[in-house]
Structure 1
Amino acid sequence: MTEAPERTAAAFHPDEALEEAVRNDAAQETASFDPNDMQIPAELRQCGAVVDKAIDYLIEKKLPSELIASALLGGSLGVLVRTTDAETMIRMLQTAIDSVRAGELILSDESLSDGE
């Protein structure tokens, strides 16, 4: 691992109060959220584009979406285990669980573009 990611991982230990404040701010802004106003860092766009291409490739190979998602999640956890501590990982995963339970990650039928 290079020095920059190690330094970033070592510095990334948000406390729970800060995370709660961010969640509350995000919840208040949800009603006025405009995805076109969101600033996405170039590195994140690049990573996302690569992942999207990999997903498209796997879908074209007719692999089951559950297996694709499982492999991506496993890979993501592998990156996290090498770059962050267990408590931060647990908080990140709990945030994802909370989002699913709140219905934030549930797509409506018309939102599905690949017909699944």
Structure 2
Amino acid sequence: MSNTTAARRHDLNLYRRYFELVAAGSKTIEVRVKYPHLADMAADDTIRFRIKGTAEVCDVRVLRVTEYEDFEALLDGEGPATVNPTSPRDEQLKNIREIYPPEKEALGVLAIEMELVPAS
């Protein structure tokens, strides 16, 4: 694939507690497993986050995507406050691993730095 590909939009679900942090602009790093459909996410892409089962959405612009070996390395590299400013590191690690079991974490993990796109 060439570097001239147009920016894309990704539609992702988010738990309400994390959605509210993104919508407030205080969560600037989204943590995801490197699933095939996310492997080509890049700067300038847009993510539309939705609270599953609702019409609530917010859009963010991707600033960068950084791959890490595991969630611990990601939290150390990015800083827990960027992932969830309301929760200590150990609690975040526990919560992330409840969402993503070890076999998912083994796929590689992504730190997606983002900024809120003002609602139009």
Q: TM-score higher than 0.5 here? A: no
Q: Which has the higher helix share?
A: 1
TM-score by length of 1: 0.28
Larger Rg: 1
TM-score normalised by the chain length of structure 2: 0.28
| Larger proportion of strand | 2
